[in-house]
Structure 1
Amino acid sequence: MNSFFQRKFIIQTIFLTAILLLIARLFYIQIIDDRYLDFANNNVLRRLVVYPPRGVIYDRKDNILVQNEPVYDLMVVPKSVKPFDTALLCKLIEVEQERFTEKLAKAREFSPVKASELEKQLSSETYARLQEHLFQFPGFFVQNRTLRKYPNPIAAHVLGYIGEVNDKIIELSKGDYRQGDYIGISGIERSYEKLLRGQRGIKRVMVDVFNREQGSFDEGKYDTAAVPGDKMITSLDAQLQKFGEELMKNKMGSVVAIEPSTGEILAFVSGPSYDPNLLVGRVRGNNYMKLLKDPLKPLFIRPLQAQYPPGSIFKPVQALIAQQLGLISPDRRFPCGGGYRYGNRVLRCTHVHPPLNMEESIQHSCNAYYGWAFKTMVDDNPGHSPEEGYNIWREHIYEWGIGKKTDVDLPNEVKGLLPTHALYDKMYGSNHWKSSNIISLSIGQGELGITPLQMANVMAAIANRGYYYRPHLVKAIGEKKYIRPEFSEKVSVGVESRYFPVVVNGMEKVVSAGTARIAFIPDIPICGKTGTAQNPHGKDHSIFMGFAPKENPKIAIAVVVENAGYGATWAAPIASLMIEKYLRDSITRPKYYSDRILNASLLPGDVFTAAGNVKPKEGSKVTKGAKNGKSTVQPKTEGTAQPRKEEKTTTSIQQDKANR
């Protein structure tokens, strides 16, 4: 019996000793002796992440707007590094030796056995030089990547840019992103990030003693392929977008053009703009800081983040709501006499008009007419107090998409300003105010703030005679050209189609024989409305919105030129050129017409004439509003408003009339 237990003890001891020897040997191989680590990393197998190319972005005619180009990241496994010629490596990759040494030290601190990025985004030329000498640098290898490239440097605010993820994004992603990954930061790149980024793959390659790849391990049996990102077909017309950016050069403002029958955005111009290639590659950080510090704020996306008092372009909406409420018929006339009088105050008009009907009021932009119309809707709505009348009026304005986001497929949209009755209760006291206290709203001034995108959307709704499609910039996704269903839904503005003809006729006469005669194009009936929005920080903003042709409209447009004065002087001709470019694919009018716009500089501080001759003002500075990168609305008023004259014509308008 004792012999049995003795044999059992000996056998257990032998097994235990063998296990301890095996553990000790593994510890020595893996921790103490780095020869086997070198063998594993450099002589046998290397695990590489295969980064997928991001989806290519096209315009509506399949022209490439964003594509990919190869770049290379220099990686290092610190424990595998042997003495090497540091000066040579730094020369090959064009970095300072001190900076390189600091990065290598950080990589060692991060992990001696894990690969770390040492230098990012090496160009193909740099990689070609490095590859010839890579065998001299044990522990270093190259990781293939792709970066964005913009063959036609337009639409920077639409397309957006990408950047490396930070620790917070990695934490929130729950494993979707890792250190060194890139993510969309703005524009379409951000809105469609999950579709554009694709899916990472893994590749295992054999490496020889000279740090050279020898092919896939086991014929790629254990590799996983990267899945490229989905392509995006945008609604932009690249040629129209480029032309719009040329027209807005040296100007602050926006141009937004929409196809009314689909809600597809044809042009989305924010001025000033920038070359999207500036925010790509190793110089991205420096360029970003320069753009960020630019007092003209080129990174500010004016079409969806700037908000302006709409001015006279608000009048067609007022006329349509008044009809829908059954309070004003198209034939009803209101007196003018140079302005709308309430108490001892006057809402001044551009001219002394005779009593006008609705169509004439739009054609001649009569402020007095809309003072009376606003009073009728707010104070004289049968069975309602002024506060209730205002709430009804506000609800109808809200249905037009004013005071709320359009839900365009871009991030960081603002909803604009549409004051509530609670604001006026606070200003004047509950039940102590009526239309005369807020009469500025009747002509699109006061506390209203509308983005250029909302303006264009309002015009699309009028073009469609009562509805719009949600404006959007991506019309199809992937090879199957998937269309998001919400972009095919009609959104009603709450006004019946039978009320539109009189308003549309009035808007047609604005261009053919009214305040926007400068925008007239033979054989293309344009319906539009000029506006001059008051700006407390400088010269008023020039605004125009319209659509064309009158029947079966193909384009709706809104143009805002900040600090440029009358709507007819700058915004209307820009819109007219954009319309002609889109519908005819060329400009047929005299060259001076477009040259005046293309050569004008209307930046804050510039002094310009109606003919577009510019002379920088001595000692001029950017205005406060422009310096902050924001366009401000008219400050709170107490019922007074004296808008600029919309009927005045310039030398160019007279020349255009003579040519017609």
Structure 2
Amino acid sequence: MNDQRQITIIITVILVGIVLLTKLFLIQVADDSFLKRAESNAIQRLVDHPYRGLVYDRTGKIMVYNNPIFDLMIIPKEFQVDDTTRFCEIFNIDKEYLKEAYTAARKYSPVKPSPLIKQISTTDFARVQDFLIDYPGLFVMTRSVRSYPQSSAANALGYIGEISAIQLERDSSNYYTQGDYVGLSGIEGFYENELRGVKGVKYKMVNVRGVDKGAFKSGEYDSASVAGHNLTSTIDLELQLYGEMLMEGKRGSVVAIEPKTGEVLAMISAPTYDPNILTGAQFSSNYMELNRDETKPLFNRPIMAMYPPGSIFKIVQSLVGLQMGVLNPNTTYSCNRSLVACHNHPSPVNLFGAIRNSCNPYYHQAYRAMINREVSGNTFKDTEIGLNEWREYVLKFGLGGPLGIDLKNEKGGSIPSSKLYDRIYGEGRWKYSTIYSLSIGQGEMLVTPLQMANLAAIFANKGYYYPPHLIKAVDGDPSAIPNKFLIKHEVGVDAHHFDMVQDAMAEAIFGTAARAAIKDITIAGKTGTAQNPQGEDHSVFIAFAPKEDPKIAIAVYVENAGWGGRAAASTASLMIEKYIRREITRPALEEYVKVGKFM
């Protein structure tokens, strides 16, 4: 009985095998219709790249939008061309490029699509699209490039470019593939995840000549791309454009902040460049040209340039001295020019007069009182203890480290510590006479223009700041910005100490920066002239206005322009008036700044 069952099973298996082999023979040998259908149609998997999110200024003006471009893709195994010369003429490439691109594509994959010609403009695509049907293995993928209608804020907005091999290796999200574009700097880089969107996929049938035969299974497996989030920038485009016009032909920075929020109203790096030249097929050549430019337009001065703060640091010294109890409004010193040089003004002066007249000898003596308080009985040790205590106060003003703005590569400047001087001079071998230049913002002290503007915001707010940032809302939602920008930072100085300092800063305008005064707008400011061993001194000015209810805090740094009361103060004054009044009532001052003959 069991033997019969086994025989039956064996016979059944043999019969099924014979049927299947016969069917396979008919399909592969006798009937070639399946072969023809397989050869005449193929399924292509196409990535549907999303549009990047748009960027608007704080008033709703468009700053960055998308323009369509086209990548000519090649599947090497299917690619056929009889007349290479004609092909190269049609697509405006040379034979060597075609050979290299084809070889690279085949090395990547003979059957997967690779880019042959990237970023074809709409004009060029219109010219070549009718020829695509003549070349099997070619198809077009639509993408987009960024466009900048106002050609403004290049260093703040940043640019996108093709992802590098290193970035691909570090991509833990597995979002990117070779040939994708990614934000490389500025807002584009910092907010890449918000701007990039979600990729979609489309499957379509094409014949051997590359002709689209429609969606595979009526699009059952397709997924639509999702555009990136739109960003509302804190930048005031009108103010930004005005500041760029004022700084044309100069080197330096302008940073304006809304004190109560930390929102950056303008961020100008001079010289700058047209961001539109870092889009499209000429990206690489234009980038190399900008990179070779000796004026360094790609260098983002507001967050990367570090300078001695000069006399603007005297305001910090005043507040630290008041909080430490070493100074009070009536503390008086003579203008002893044997200690350090100064300009003509009445002597002696109290703290108010020292701020108003920017008295160098006053701060030389006041700083010594802060540092050397005879707590150990050893002069060298006293200086070390005093410096470290003083430094802790200063660091709370957002100095000595990055503020954490939403841009990459921010520098933090330097507030020197005792360890630095130990390395330079040896432990126990330096004292106040070694470091007295710190008293007036010189020596080893370095700050960025962004930190200077943040100081102005601190003085306006009477002792606090919100970290400076460039994004106001994501898809219209203010709460969607990073939480760290909503955290209030106290600097540890009592608010009442700022009253006298603000009054003195307002008076200083008529002392060292009279040309910065604006009728009916009270400006509180401080000039600075930062020493420059390589050439003319740098012109520095920080301010906030109106003094009674500050709407704008600003720092201007003009390289090699001399006294701060000229170039920097004049530029800041015009920017303040432009923001508050939306018009300029002093055309002569505007012309003075535009011409730029400050020396």
Structure 1 position 543, deviation (Å): 0.6
Shift of 1:23: 8.7
Displacement of 1:599 after TM fit?
Answer: 2.5
Counterpart AA for 1:572: A
Q: Residue 45 of structure 2 aligns with which residue?
A: 47
> Contact 1:84–1:136 at 8 Å: present in 2 too?
no
Q: Deviations over 1:621-651 (max 9, x none)?
A: xxxxxxxxxxxxxxxxxxxxxxxxxxxxxxx
CA offsets, 1:523-561, max 9 Å, x none? 111111111111111111111111111111000000111
Once the two structures are superposed, residues 551-610 of structure 1 have per-residue CA deviations (whole angstroms, 9 ceiling, x without a partner) of 110000001111111111211101111111111111101x2311122133xxxxxxx564
- Matched residues, number: 589
Q: Deviations over 1:241-293 (max 9, x none)?
A: 11111111111110000000110000000111111011101000000000111
Whether 1:294 aligns to 2:293 is: yes
Partner of 1:124: 122
Q: Distance in 1 between matches of 2:268 and 2:594?
A: 15
Provide the residue aligned with 2:271 in structure 1.
272
Output aligned runs, 1:306-455, within 5 Å: 306-337=305-336, 339=337, 341=338, 346-351=339-344, 353-380=346-373, 385-455=382-452
Answer yes or no: is the 8 Å Cα contact 1:559–1:575 preserved in 2.
Answer: yes
Report percent identity of matched pairs. Answer: 45
Letter in structure 1 aligned against 2:366: A
Match of 1:281?
280
Q: Which runs of 5+ in 2 are unaligned?
A: none
| 1:199-598 equivalences in 2 (<5 Å) | 199-207=198-206, 211-337=210-336, 339=337, 341=338, 346-351=339-344, 353-380=346-373, 385-481=382-478, 482-511=480-509, 513-589=510-586, 591-598=587-594
Following superposition, the deviation at residue 487 of structure 1 comes to: 1.4
| Counterpart code for 2:367 | F
> 2: distance between equivalents of 1:26 and 1:521?
91
How far residue 432 of structure 1 moved from its aligned partner, in angstroms, is 4.0
Supply the AA of the counterpart residue of 1:198: G
Counterpart selection for 2:595 from 589, 595, 599: 599
Q: CA deviation at 1:19?
A: 6.7
> For 1:352-400, what per-residue CA distance to the aligned partner results, in whole angstroms no more than 9, with x for missing partners?
6411011111111100110111011001266792221111111000000
Task: Compare 321-330 and 16-25 and name the one that shifted more.
Answer: 16-25
Contact 2:524/2:547 (CA < 8 Å) preserved in 1? yes
Shift of 1:458: 0.7
Shift of 1:101: 3.1
CA distance in 2, matches of 1:532, 1:35: 82
| Structure 1 contact 51–201 (Cα < 8 Å) conserved | yes
Q: Is the 8 A contact 1:51 1:200 kept in 2?
A: yes
Q: In the TM superposition, what is the alpha-carbon distance from 1:74 to its structure 2 partner?
A: 0.7
TM-score by length of 1: 0.85
Letter in 1 for 2:330: D
Q: Is the contact between residue 81 and residue 87 of structure 2 (CA under 8 Å) also seen in structure 1? A: no
Q: In 1, are the aligned partners of 2:205 and 2:216 still within 8 Å (CA)? A: yes
Cα distance, 1:212 vs. partner?
A: 3.2
Partners of 1:127 and 1:38 in 2: CA distance: 28
Equivalence for 1:649: none
Q: Secondary structure at the match of 2:496?
A: helix
Q: Deviations over 1:208-232 (max 9, x none)?
A: 5653334433432221010110011
Secondary structure at the aligned position of 1:496 is classed as coil
- 1:188-207 matches, cutoff 5 A: 188-207=187-206
Partner Cα separation in structure 2 for residue 23 and residue 214 of structure 1: 28
Secondary structure of 1:203's counterpart equals strand
- Write the distance in 1 (CA, Å) between the matches of 2:376 and 2:75: 81
Q: Structure 2 counterpart of 1:419, which letter?
A: P
Contact 1:381–1:389, Cα closer than 8 Å, also in 2 = no
Cα deviation for residue 206 of structure 1 reads 3.6
> C-alpha distance in 2, partners of 1:467/1:241?
25
**Runs (5+) with no aligned partner, structure 1:** 601-607, 611-660
Following superposition, which runs of at least 4 residues in structure 1 exceed 6 angstroms of deviation? 1-4, 17-28
Counterpart CA distance in 1 for 2:343 and 2:127 is: 71
Partner of 1:151: 149
Matches for 1:155-170 after TM superposition, within 5 Å: 155-170=153-168
Q: In 1, distance between residues paired with 2:440 and 2:410?
A: 25
The answer (yes or no) to whether the contact 1:38–1:80 under 8 Å persists in 2 is no
Give the partner amino acid of 1:94: N
The letter for the 2-side match of 1:39 is S
CA displacement at 1:12 relative to structure 2? 4.3
1:19–1:431 CA distance, 2 compared to 1 (3 A): farther
The offset of 1:136, in angstroms, is 1.4
Q: Distance in 2 between matches of 1:282 and 1:258?
A: 36
* Preserved CA contact (<8 Å) 1:164 1:180: yes
Over the aligned positions, Cα root-mean-square deviation in angstroms equals: 2.4
Aligned counterparts of 1:517 and 1:216: Cα–Cα separation in 2: 72
- After TM superposition, the structure 1 stretch with the greater mean CA deviation from structure 2, 243-252 or 203-212, is 203-212
**Counterpart residue type for residue 64 of structure 1:** I
Q: Distance in 1 between matches of 2:247 and 2:437?
A: 30
Q: Which amino acid letter does the alignment assign opposite residue 437 of structure 1?
A: T
- Identify the residue that residue 95 of structure 1 maps to in structure 2: 93
CA positional deviation for 1:422:
1.2
Q: CA deviation at 1:98?
A: 3.1
Superposed displacement of residue 20, structure 1? 7.4
Equivalent position amino acid for 1:380 in 2: R
Aligned partner letter, 1:166? S
Describe the SS at the equivalent of 2:255. Answer: strand
2:72 equivalent to 1:62? no
| Secondary structure at the counterpart of residue 72 of structure 2 | strand
Contact 1:387 1:434 (8 Å CA) reproduced: yes
Cα distance in 1 for residues equivalent to 2:375 and 2:22: 99
Superposed displacement of residue 5, structure 1: 5.8
TM-score by length of 2: 0.93
